Structure 1
């Protein structure tokens, strides 16, 4: 196979031009909007109903019937209207039409518009039924907003028959609606639409605006009925318009070259297959051969298109949204959040390329990837040069280079090419690393590493596989921690609230708010309270939902935020709308659910426990337990601490096994500490004996600090005690949610991790210094000031490294000293005269004979900086 980066590969000049497609003409008038409902949507829904079938009785082949309905409608359109079916398809598949902007209207905003148009009170039952559409009421369709609106409009519809608006009229109205951002400006257009439609038409218009059609077919089915090449063209273009305009002739066939990815044209990326039941199945899917292991990043899938040596860039999301405005259109685009950093990011002979990767948010302070929710904030802040975090693009594949597609190359070949095309720009633009594995143990070891770093999971890739556009093949397999084996089957939580579902789950509770028991330690006889802990809605079968309904029938009460049941339960906040359930239940009338999860989220303002589960999933109903025997907060924290300890031990065992099998055992030095300070073998000292530490930093540093503490005889706890205790230290250096709360309370002194390192380096407990304090009361701050001089140099301990010395010198007021420290980086030339400007103790307690007359007159004139007390003596 040819190498697209071979020196003999010709580089043709790139000319920017958009793909222009001739629009086919319609010869007939635009059909009425209601024909989409009567001739297409309703027959499709009827065909999908297995209970009645299409012609009554049992449906023998629903797919065939739906295909016939679609084909019949398309043929009628071509005969009566013409070859341009795009106006119709963009209403049937609104979520695939990227030509129309978002409306900025969700359910509650639409409900408010309808309330104004209908002229009803916002406090009326009809208004509340639309705003609270998930809650069952006098109208059917709970959880289905459009259906609930239909029921309300039907009572007061202006037209009982279908309206006269055509498909073109509706598209024009929607185009106008999408160009306006304020609901007050949208109100006249929406009112005009309402006065031109009946209730059923309004229902489907609302579904189009919300992009929630649910008509029983996917775009694949519709495209297959339209043209044999429609799916292939959509996969490499993501353009509904091109599918409709280029393929109106059913006899036309695309060439093989036309089915390939194209520069500056968004394609549908390859997706990883869903997790397998076991690691053995994953290894088997890789043909029992060596495979690539990549960390699954918590960001947004982005494809990057670069042309003309960086003069043009395009960024597309997995959903074909164009993010070029956000990340930059060229290397010279100073308004973009990324491209301005990419000078030199590509090889000199790389004219153009298409890269596939993940955009994440990078925190340069903690040097880690932030959760997905920070990405857009970081990107917008970077555009204004006002943010601490910024976007980082991790590239894991290449599909195109120098006017040639490499989609059919193997993954190994593409990775080799990627190394030649891309130059890393640290913390802005990097090739995503991978490692090789061949056994389930390799997967398990790597998965435990990424879990410890709060990562998403892994992706296992077959090195010999080509890139499959819009495919979900077993050549890429996701590996996620389905639940925590350490205690995932022991989380028996009480249901304290419920949430109504949408769509098929309408009219019924589809997810539940679970709580942990908090006993009254002052009065053991008092009934316990329950603190909100997590929300679970996955893993239930229809039978299990039915069992829960049976066990709790008649016990649910509507949640009133003005009068929350505080005597029974507590949420994170009285006005926390994200957590506030639709209904609640008395603890003694409720049920206990066993839950599993991927991991623990240690800081969560959403729940009263200030801790929750990541990806909680229902396992079974525990009818053998009640509210008094359900899991308590205290029990959970003990389980969590035990699980973390066991997990660390297993990780150490795996690492030990890996090192022993691959290379000689090496000792791990910590942050420039003394050579004898290591982290393996028996405890190195007992300097922390009798001291207890609660370490509240990010997970990676936390594990490291805990190892240091334990190796020096200290004790580690996971939770902050209710009150400060003697010889108990809180370690932190960043305002996490819990730390901010502790600072507001003002009871605890909080120490930086630097103190632990200083103690370990000096082999003893060193007194606190100002640099050790993250938060402290005035009395302690006054006391620690006595342990250092006016330049913060300690009186009691040795200096650990040159960085500390440099910091002290640079804070001294003498500019000569500061400039010398900066110029020479402390490693000064002994022959340079400026060395005499740096004070130190190198001649302390030393007698010196000086054989120079000029120095004999006043030995202190040259040596005053070298002795804290003047011990130099001159002998003529």
Structure 2
């Protein structure tokens, strides 16, 4: 029902019909001949917006109301409005059919549901236009709502949509109220607002300029339409001095694409910086006293994720100590990356990791890579040169490995140094490099200004080309209305028998890289071959993920296309569990037969070889004739240069990346006889090859893709490929440690819960009968090794606490334990005797210069100290309270004392006898008589 208690604002006095009339007048300008116009199209459209703003302000003045233009601006710029409705064309079509009582099998209903299909309607491919054509004789023209009512119901839809199923009833109520109380022309514009595409031929820059001459600058700083409208509400006042404000996000400065051989020319021969282009997500960190805020490049607030203070979030507790106490207020610009603490490296977007959820993954943590600073205390630094800003970064924070680090500025003068840095980035599987002018100032939201990004995927010939088959098609809209404008492409699935029906799996959707002429040509060639895709009767030869095409085609009638992309990303939309990032069509391949497309196994090998990247060749400065791609979707084909010379050789996979040949392995036993293994280790190919060799020698069979006969899948971590196997639910996924254990003991060890990455239902049922929730057997006596294994598995610690259990946490916990023992067991705390002692044991006996061995006696004392509550550190640091030395070996005593003299907080150097005597006496003995 309509809300009768809406606040009396100017929006309650302005109808949605008048706003729609403005939009209609704007699109009519495109149909007006040039000679009939006094000015250009954009200027005339801006004048119409200015007249509506004036009308809004006059209405506000007449009713003595606040004239804030935000209620209109969020409808005029729906793409910049932060409301998420969860409504797309198909769902809106169903609402229209239900609300207006259109028969579900009628021609009008089918036109709404299949609006992209070719029809005689002028607006084919445009859902809103199709809806208007169908509804114009079904809706009353005298219906309308005011602007406040429109925004109120859109707010209700957005809020209810965020609640999921619980809010669906309110979504239904609000959308039906709008559909039943607006005319056909108003519904057309409402639909475009919800879909966030008005199609009025005027960009946000022109609309903001029409509102206020400073509006674009303010929006670049704040990323908020609401702040633009509130700060610049008075058209007579200029926002002369824009300031960066802590707690208010501003749009980041961007890099301009550049050729490696043009850098010297662009920078006038001056010295420049080369930095790594981090493959993460752009974020700003704001610090206000002891409070933190984190904003994405689009101004979204992720403070709750990364932590408002030292006690919350996946990042703040770990970097708080790295920030200087002098930096009370701070804004840092950088890249939020995922860091693998075991392998000690930054991960890329190609890995199945969401940096905003990094703490959910084992050994993966959030790392903030800082490369610029905007504010230090009360000083705004955006107008300072980069070389000065870099010094401020070093002044305000220090590095913590895997948590916060600087971007290293490599000083350079030549194009060759740029090429060398790019080739090094290719070898390291990095996204690319960024070249910066040391004299450049920080310009929010602007591209260029002294920043240039150089990536291997911009350069023709550096990326691997993939020959993929067209499996499906999608109807286009706008200029491509009535055509099959996008294609679903995929791979040939490997099969054992030649007589079986060939199967294909989807990989990605492409819609760029070809000319309009090429599109028309292949639409004509394939016109009679397309078949409508029905979910209930999907073709058996197609293996699809969540992404379904509008049409499908028989493989024998299809075509091969040569596709280029940046890297491989995880995605459940496609069957392999991954897809291509920024795919673009290089060319159609009529010279290839339909069955000559790339196989799934070839694609997996290529992906594994390059760690997800599709670039593996170096750039040579002497060979820079190829054009750079200056569009993210690829270059215009009309401008693409033809390659000269011999055809590029087909990409092959080196032998180290293929499965081993069982025929070349000499059998050494039958431990794994009759069992088929799939060993999937993507990040350590040498270990994969070694394990395969051992399995083959002991009679086991090997496959590169699991089959129905596979005994188990061996893996070292849960990659996106493993997740796709887990989703199927037919396989046991076992850790590599289990296979190592079998090889060590020379027998097929029974699986235990701690051996598993994933267990299929049958295996889980077996575990439930034999083991408790901690992995402890009901029937077998626990051994020392088993106990260690259980504790090391971490099953006793909840997942959400694992990231917090660092050294600082454990030391604080020991203090609380000591307080508890002193309070409740003051006279009987034998096993908490050394609770407040932090030991370093000098356990190495130096036999000679080249040889050192463990001092077994001192090692035993160490165990006794730990048994009685002592905490042992592996090195001498600021926390050490006692350094324990064996009197029989004083070779390092002077060095230890020298270290102690340099420390602000001294530790005691005592003999091991102090620990033994204290245990014997059940109290801490006086240390002075044991000091060395």
TM-score by length of 2: 0.64
Question: Residues 377-407 of structure 1: CA distance to partner in whole angstroms, max 9, x if unpaired?
Answer: 664685xx89764433222210001111000
Shift of 1:499: 2.0
Query: Is 1:483–1:597's contact at 8 Å kept on the other side of the alignment?
Result: no
The answer for the alignment partner of 2:681 in structure 1 is 697
Aligned counterparts, 1:461-860, within 5 A: 461-482=436-457, 488=463, 491-517=466-492, 522-523=497-498, 528-566=502-540, 569-572=541-544, 576-578=545-547, 580-600=548-568, 606-608=573-575, 613-631=580-598, 696-699=680-683, 701-702=684-685, 720-721=703-704, 732-738=715-721, 751=736, 824=841, 827=844, 830=855, 832=857, 835=860
Instruction: Report SS of the residue matched to 1:562.
Output: helix
- 1:360 and 2:341 are equivalent in the alignment: no
Deviation at 1:352, TM superposition (A): 0.4
Distance, in Å, in 2 between the alignment partners of 1:647 and 1:534 is 15
Q: Residue 409 of structure 1 aligns to a residue in which SS?
A: coil
Please give the secondary structure, in 1, of the residue aligned with 2:522. Answer: helix
Q: SS of the residue aligned with 1:63?
A: helix
Aligned to 2:323: 346
Change over 3 Å in CA distance of 1:175–1:79 after alignment to 2: same
Q: Please name the residue that 2:794 is paired with.
A: none
From 183, 191, 207, give the equivalent of 1:206: 191
Q: Is the 8 A contact 1:293 1:458 kept in 2?
A: yes
Alpha-carbon distance between aligned partners in 1 of 2:117 and 2:733, rounded to the nearest angstrom: 45
CA contact (8 A) 1:516 1:630 kept: yes
Indicate the residue corresponding to 1:10 in structure 2.
Answer: none
Whether 2:260 is the aligned partner of 1:263: answer: no
Deviation of the 1:92 alpha carbon = 0.7
366-375 or 197-206, which deviates more = 366-375
Q: Partner residue of 1:417?
A: 392
**Residue of structure 2 in register with 1:144 after alignment:** 126
Match of 1:403 in 2: 378
Secondary structure in 2 aligned to 1:407? coil
How far apart, CA to CA, are the structure 2 residues paired with 1:377 and 1:351? 30
Shift of 1:557: 0.6
Secondary structure of 1:353's partner?
Answer: strand
- Residues in 2 aligned to 1:641 and 1:172: alpha-carbon distance in whole angstroms: 51
What's the counterpart of residue 66 of structure 1? Answer: 45
**Distance in structure 2 (CA, Å) of the matches to 1:155 and 1:335:** 58
Q: For the structure 1 residues 609 and 184, does the alpha-carbon distance in structure 2 shift closer, same or farther, using more than 3 Å as the test?
A: closer
Shift of 1:41: 1.4
Find the residue that maps to 1:343 and give its secondary structure: helix
Would you say the 8 A contact 2:338–2:358 is kept in 1?
no
- Partner residue in 2 for 1:314: 293
CA deviations over 1:172-207 (Å, ceiling 9, x no partner): 333344443412113233333223210111121222
- The range that moved more, 112-121 or 349-358, is 112-121
The residue that corresponds to 2:228 in the other structure is: 243
Q: Aligned pair in 2 of structure 1 residues 34, 644: CA closer, same or farther (>3 Å)?
A: closer
List aligned pairs for 1:22-33, cutoff 5 A.
30-33=13-16
**Cα gap change, 1:640/1:165 in structure 2, threshold over 3 Å: closer, same or farther?**
closer
1:92 to 72, 76, 82: 76
Per-residue deviation at 1:43? 2.4
User: What is the TM-score with the length of structure 1 in the denominator?
Assistant: 0.68
The separation in 2 between residues aligned to 1:708 and 1:293, in whole angstroms, is 41
Where do 5+ consecutive residues of structure 2 fail to align? 1-7, 62-66, 622-661, 667-676, 764-782, 787-830, 846-853, 864-932
Q: Distance in 2 between matches of 1:653 and 1:542?
A: 34
2:399, 2:498 → 1: CA distance?
A: 62
- Which position in structure 1 is the counterpart of 2:917? none
Distance 1:539 1:264, change over 3 A: same
Check whether the contact 1:28–1:80 (CA below 8 A) recurs between aligned residues: no
Give 2:305's aligned residue.
326
* Structure 1 residue 551 displacement after superposition: 1.5
Instruction: Please provide the CA RMSD for this pair.
Output: 5.0
Structure 2 CA distance for partners of 1:430 and 1:146, relative to 1, 3 Å: farther
Looking at structure 2, the residues matched to 747 and 232 of structure 1 have their Cα atoms a distance apart, in angstroms, of 57
Q: What is the CA-CA distance between 1:691 and the residue it aligns to?
A: 6.1
- Give the Cα–Cα distance (whole angstroms) in 2 for the partners of residues 232 and 78 of structure 1: 23
Distance in 2 between the 1:376 and 1:530 partners? 27
CA contact 1:493–1:515 (8 Å) conserved in 2: yes
Residue number in structure 1 paired with 2:272: 291
